[in-house]
Amino acid sequence: MRAISWLPRSVKAEEPRKNVPRVLVSPGGRVPYFTTSLSAGRKAARSTLGKTTATGIGRPVAEYLQTILPFWLAYLVAALVHATLLIVLSLASGVIFVWGERKVAGRIQDRLGPTRVGGRYGWLQTIADGIKLLTKEDLRPKGADSFLFRIAPYVGWGASYAAFIALPFANGWVAQRMNVAVFFILAVLGLEVFGVILAGYASGSKWSLFGAMREAAQVVSYEVPLGMCVIVPVMIAGTMDLTTIANMQQGWFFNWFVFHDIFTFLLFGVYFTCATAGVNRAPFDLAEAESELVAGFHTEYSGFRWLFFFVAEYGSMFMVSGLAALLFFGGWNGPIPVTAFWPDHPAMNYLANFLGMLNFVFKCTFGVVVMMWVRWTLPRVRIDQVITTCLKYCTPLAAVLFLGATLWTFAFPGGITGMRQVPYGMVREQYKPAEVRAAEDHVAGHPAAESDLAVAGQHRSPR
Amino acid sequence: MQSPIIWHTFFFFLFSFLACVFAVAVLVTSNIVRMAFFLVISLGSTAGLFFLAGADLVGSMQLMIYVGGTLVLLIFGVMLTARSPLISMHTPSGEWILGAIVGGSLLAVLLQIALSPKAWQQGPELPPAAYTAVEAGTPAAAELARDPRLRPPQTATKLGLGLLGERVDKLVVQDPTRRAGMSGYLLPFEIVSVHLLVVLVGAAYLARARFRVSD
């Protein structure tokens, strides 16, 4: 990648190409064949909060802690820091979004919503509700399977929370950077329905079982078009690493994948529909349709366990909004690359990353608010309409748009203007064994070094 | 410098323990939904082992295919058996014995295979200095580099690319005419996929309820 002057600083941290080890055999014995563009391979992948910069201001937490703590303790503390931050985010977003939902609902229905608790705007309403829920009696129906009944909310919340591990909040600010982050998030988010099914079955109630079955059918169906929608940005970017995907949309807003071509623009609509249905939100909230099923799968729950279902739901909403922001709306790369014009100083780069995180969280919150807006605007659809929407509209639409985006990328690899520095889909170096590269070099008149053949998998800078 | 191996070992044993304990729990439970739940924990712990080994893709695959697949199994289990006596399964002792024989012989075969790789009998890894020497390209590096422990491990990458239509193991062949014939296994792969799709559609057709409007 050539250096581009108008790139944001935060992006430049992504490309420590010169740090690529010459021999890709890591001490762990694992060879990252495909990760040449991700620079230091697993070392980079292991980097946690704060991308490694030349000056070391944003070193990974574990690396920094090693200097002041014993080794084993450093890793423990680093892991706890990440886990705690994400748990706080999961719970705090639940608290804030429940309040936001009530305010949005109130405004849309031409009333005020909560106004009293905590002074203006009733911003402490959710805390009060939470305390009330904690003091409620923990009921369990007589016919319930008590073990599964008790564990179900935590299974659902655990799945929703585990997906946050791979969600980057800014360039390099991620609990665990994975090169298959998109796939991991989809796989883990799909497990959230497990808690719902367990709850529905274990409650020993007809309402709960019906709700759980509806949710199961719905979520399993919607995973198909959702997966197809997610594939397109992945295909355009040529990687499943969310950090790299977001970094490829650097600069102005027209670099966002949603504006990549007409197909991705339309595809975002399909993605949003499928994501709304996937996290079981209105108008697709058949699993808890209160007009038919009392409260669906959580009919029999009260108190703390019920709270966990809610936190899991809002966590998932945040998650799919975050995925949308990363895949379609540039992640932390704002509409205007303000931080690109800053002086290249470690502190300024850190601040740029911080602003990027705020940008990203704003986009996620905006997505959640749109979901609320949709919920309080549209009426709930019937279960057959839900499945029809998935199978007869979303899946074919996603397939056609996927095909269109593929052809578009094939026709214009450098974008319409041909100004893209890295043609999408060409991020990774072509896979070639060492002996082939050596043979090609020989033909080209650059005889390969002896060690080239000896050390299989030796890295060569990409041409 | 002390290595972080203790956490690695700790989590390895934790995940292995969970996987084994809940695998046994699947056997001894008679409730089908609890069985599925324990199976999910066991398979999820196996995914944890994959993540621990650095195989993110395989771990995610495990979550998506096996854990998610068990989920669908559970849905069908609950849907089809929630109101019938099948929800609680009791295994007769004859089946226990038969199962123990089959499972035991399979375990013996798997153990035999698992302990056979040569790489596992080669002793510990090279000291870190060796890697640094190779990286720095010192004269001793060429000698060191011949050590089999420094070779890239055999991965499924070539096979995967072969299934996608790119025979990277045959890139050495320079003759374009011969290269044209090496198109990988994309066509067989697609044929198998279409077969599976046909089977699924057929199963759905056979299983659907036939409602007739009688007038």
Looking at the structure, tell me whether residues A89 and A232 fall in a common domain: yes
Looking at the structure, tell me whether residues A310 and A449 fall in a common domain: no
**The two three-digit tokens of residue B17, written as one number:** 């323990």
Looking at the structure, tell me whether residues A457 and A352 fall in a common domain: no
* B26 pLDDT above the threshold of 70: yes
pLDDT in tens, A12-55: 344 433 333 333 333 333 333 332 233 333 333 333 333 333 33
Residue A67: closest C-alpha in chain B: B1
Looking at the structure, tell me whether residues A405 and A442 fall in a common domain: no
Looking at the structure, tell me whether residues A129 and A192 fall in a common domain: yes
| Mean pLDDT along residues B173-182 | 72
Size of chain A, expressed as the number of residues it contains? 463
Q: In this complex, is the C-beta atom of B128 within 8 Å of any C-beta atom belonging to chain A? A: yes
Decide: A124 and A95 in contact? Cβ < 8 Å.
Answer: no
What pLDDT does A45 receive?
35
Query: Longest C-alpha distance within chain A, in Å?
Result: 82
* DSSP code string of B76-107: HHHHHHTTSGGGB----HHHHHHHHHHHHHHH
* A153 pLDDT above the threshold of 50: yes
Query: Which residues lie across from A23 on neighbouring strands?
Result: A458
Rounded CA separation A148/A203 (Å): 9
Looking at the structure, tell me whether residues A354 and A457 fall in a common domain: no
* B55 pLDDT above the threshold of 80: yes
Q: Which of B56, B68, B78 has the CB atom closest to A197's CB atom?
A: B78
**What's the whole-number average pLDDT of chain B?**
77
Our CA angle for A410, A416, A422, nearest 5°, is 70
3-state class (DSSP) for residue B178: helix
Is residue A119 assigned to a domain?
Answer: yes
Partner-chain contact B54 A28, CB within 8 Å: yes
Is residue B99 assigned to a domain?
Answer: no
Q: Which of A194, A433, A457 has the CB atom closest to B171's CB atom?
A: A433
Partner-chain contact A42 B54, CB within 8 Å: yes
Residue A93's pLDDT band (boundaries 50, 70, 90)?
confident
Is residue A56 assigned to a domain?
Answer: no
pTM value?
A: 0.75
Q: What's the total number of domains in chain A?
A: 2
Looking at the structure, tell me whether residues A176 and A306 fall in a common domain: yes
Partner-chain contact A456 B152, CB within 8 Å: yes
* Listed residue (B40, B17, B73, B52) closest to A192, CA to CA: B40
pLDDT in tens, A362-404: 999 999 999 989 888 888 888 888 888 888 898 999 999 999 9
pLDDT in tens, A189-244: 888 888 888 888 888 788 888 888 888 888 888 888 998 899 888 888 878 888 88
Is residue B35 assigned to a domain?
Answer: yes
- DSSP class of residue A237 equals H
Is residue A14 assigned to a domain?
Answer: no
Is residue A421 assigned to a domain?
Answer: no
Partner-chain contact A148 B150, CB within 8 Å: no
Looking at the structure, tell me whether residues A317 and A451 fall in a common domain: no
Is residue B17 assigned to a domain?
Answer: yes
The answer to whether the peptide bond before residue A141 is cis (omega within 30 degrees of 0) is: no
The residue segments making up the domain with residue A447 are 432-463
* Listed residue (B163, B162, B150) closest to B193, CA to CA: B163
The CATH number assigned to the domain holding B74 equals: 1.20.120.1200
Rounded CA separation A219/A196 (Å): 11
Is residue B63 assigned to a domain?
Answer: yes
Is residue A49 assigned to a domain?
Answer: no
**The two three-digit tokens of residue B53, written as one number:** 């080994």
Q: What do you get for the CA distance between the two ends of chain B, in Å?
A: 84
**The two three-digit tokens of residue B109, written as one number:** 């075969």
Is residue A17 assigned to a domain?
Answer: no
Residue B11 Cα, gap to closest chain A Cα (Å):
12
Residue A438: closest C-alpha in chain B: B172
Query: Which residues lie across from B88 on neighbouring strands?
Result: B31
Rounded CA separation A124/B173 (Å): 70
Is residue B141 assigned to a domain?
Answer: no
Is residue A424 assigned to a domain?
Answer: no
Look at B164 and A329; give whichever has higher pLDDT.
A329
Is residue A358 assigned to a domain?
Answer: yes
Q: Which of B59, B78, B168 has the CB atom closest to A431's CB atom?
A: B168
Partner-chain contact A217 B54, CB within 8 Å: no
Rounded CA separation A52/A48 (Å): 9
Looking at the structure, tell me whether residues A312 and A450 fall in a common domain: no
What pLDDT does B101 receive?
93
Is residue B184 assigned to a domain?
Answer: no
Looking at the structure, tell me whether residues A394 and A462 fall in a common domain: no
| Mean pLDDT along residues A404-418 | 75
Partner-chain contact A454 B174, CB within 8 Å: no
What pLDDT does A31 receive?
30
| Mean pLDDT along residues A241-249 | 82
Q: Which of B64, B78, B149 has the CB atom closest to A190's CB atom?
A: B64
CB contacts of B171 in chain A (<8 Å) are 432-433, 436
Decide: A235 and A405 in contact? Cβ < 8 Å.
Answer: yes
CB contacts of B59 in chain A (<8 Å) are 184
Q: What's the total number of domains in chain B?
A: 1
The residue segments making up the domain with residue B69 are 1-89
Q: In this complex, is the C-beta atom of B86 within 8 Å of any C-beta atom belonging to chain A? A: no
- Where on the phi/psi map is residue B147: left (φ > 0), alpha (ψ -120 to 50), or beta? beta
Q: What are phi and psi of B66, to 5 degrees?
A: -80, -50
Rounded CA separation A433/B99 (Å): 46
Q: What are phi and psi of A450, to 5 degrees?
A: -60, -40
